[in-house]
Structure 1
Amino acid sequence: MEDHHLQLALSSLITLSFFLTILPPSYCIDNARFVECSIPFDGGRIKNISYSFLGGNRSELCNFQEFKLTCRDNEYPIIRIEELEFLVLNINQSQYIMTIARLDLWNHALQSIHDLFKGCNTSIEVPILRTALIDESVGLQNVLNQGFDVDYRNDWSITCSGCEASGGICGFNSFSHSFVCFCHDGEQPLVCSSNGMHARFSSIS
């Protein structure tokens, strides 16, 4: 009788061990970089922005320095492109299009232009939206305030889509200056590997 109870107990332990080993792995100890780059950028009127941008709560490990956004009170964030600063009015992440406006020409009734070129025989070129030309009644300052669209996609945009589809977070390796896919269990060069469930029996001593 004792042998029978012992066999039942061992059978229950083996069964329990079997079910424990085929459960998917717990993600309560996610990779630190995965967690860090999962945090979106929220700045003023621009919310929930991920790759290809950093700034605010988003670490510099999450992308390039040239895509750094700076919070500005409760208004639009600022991005620096070469020597100029631009207000980021909108970001369409699915189309990789960003609407920006020159900070030095924003809401100044063109006074900054007059001050800049006072006494000079020169001119500047400022891109504007195509739709801004449709309504001739719109003043020049309003046209400048609408900003213009720029395409910010790069060679890694398609790669990032594959990484995200595999459950990863797109990031940047500052040492090799290359794309990296941050996954729950570590880093991968392109996409996260599937977490297969492998059943096995554990020996009981």
Structure 2
Amino acid sequence: MEAFMLFLTLFFFLLSAFPLFHCQPDNEYRDCQPSPCGKVGNISYPFWSEESGQPHYCVRPEFKLNCPQLKDKDDYPSIQIGSQTFNVTFIEPENHNMTLIRTDFVYNNCSSQNWSNTSVSTSFNVFRYDELYVKNVTLFYNCPSNYSTEGFEFPCQPPTSYGSNSSNYAFYSEYVVNELQLPDLIENCKRRIQVPVVEPDVPPQLYSQILKQALDDGLIAVKYKVDELCQKCWDSDGRCGWNDTSPFICYCRDGQYPLTCPDSSHSSSMRLFTLLPLPFSF
């Protein structure tokens, strides 16, 4: 009987003490906690920044953000995709959506000879336009002003060397009503580039106004590719990561799991019994 009472005492002691053990987070779980990044709020796998100091197993290299300093927390972070830099204005991890603004592009400046087509393609193929909303628009620059495109032309400021009081016309190709004009634009305009915009969902007579606003805003709807398992890991109170032997790992408070964290009550019971000694014989 004394042995049995001793066993019960030990059992209830471990039972009361176990939550203290369980609350000590695994190192990877602690290291991979979300970190602040300017106006987009907290970022986590696959996004990261040098400022966050997160280890490599918490992030994906191609998702590096340049976060504002804490004193500039009301600024947007930026991301380098290929040779172009974008400000990141929004990240929706649940649906793998983000919105970007190209930082070096002013559509109504005729000094576009140094610009290239806006692109989010990379060798990793992790970013793509959201086809539901984005349409590529070709902009023709330094064009003759004697075309009639029913409001789909706009004056743009030339480089200062051309004279500050002059302007050159530019056109939107996808919205030029008379398609016969396109060969003339291609021949006579000195420069053209492609720019993705959120396609206007308005009657044609309002296209010009809405399109100019979309170009002014510069917003691009982008989807990013990431492990589909990550959301399930987050839903189970885990944190996503990877290592050299596994493309995806769910870091949990009590260790690493391949998909999701176990149910906390089940995990607690199983772990508790591994701590208990074998019952005494009596």
1:85 aligns with 2:85: yes
Counterpart AA for 1:37: C
Counterpart AA for 1:42: P
Q: Secondary structure at the match of 1:127?
A: strand
Answer whether contact 1:181 1:189 (CA < 8 A) is retained.
Answer: yes
Counterpart AA for 2:92: N
Counterpart AA for 2:199: R
Structure 1 pair 126/43, CA: closer, same or farther in 2 (3 Å)? same
Cα deviation, residue 201, structure 1? 5.8
Gaps of 5+ in 1: 1-5
Match among 204, 224, 231 for residue 161 of structure 1: 231
Give the TM-score taking structure 1 as reference length: 0.75
1:35 aligns with 2:30: yes
Give the TM-score taking structure 2 as reference length: 0.56
Identity of paired residues, percent? 28
Post-superposition Cα deviations, 1:52-93, rounded to whole Å, max 9, x if no partner, equal 211131613212111111113441110111111111011112
How many residue pairs get aligned? The number is 191
Counterpart AA for 1:137: Q
**Corresponding residue for 2:57?**
61
Structure 1 pair 83/15, CA: closer, same or farther in 2 (3 Å)? same
Cα deviation, residue 168, structure 1? 1.6
1:102 aligns with 2:95: no
Cα deviation, residue 51, structure 1? 2.3
**Corresponding residue for 1:70?**
66
Distance of 2:213 and 2:110 partners within structure 1? 11
Match among 7, 10, 25 for residue 14 of structure 1: 7
Distance of 1:166 and 1:112 partners within structure 2? 52
Post-superposition Cα deviations, 1:5-57, rounded to whole Å, max 9, x if no partner, equal x95xx76643331113345452443211111111x232221102222211131
Gaps of 5+ in 2: 116-158, 163-188
1:45 aligns with 2:39: yes
Structure 1 pair 171/130, CA: closer, same or farther in 2 (3 Å)? same
Distance of 1:65 and 1:189 partners within structure 2? 21
Cα deviation, residue 179, structure 1? 1.2
Answer whether contact 1:96 1:151 (CA < 8 A) is retained.
Answer: yes
Answer whether contact 1:101 1:144 (CA < 8 A) is retained.
Answer: no
Q: Say what the alpha-carbon RMSD is for the aligned residues.
A: 3.3
Counterpart AA for 1:57: S
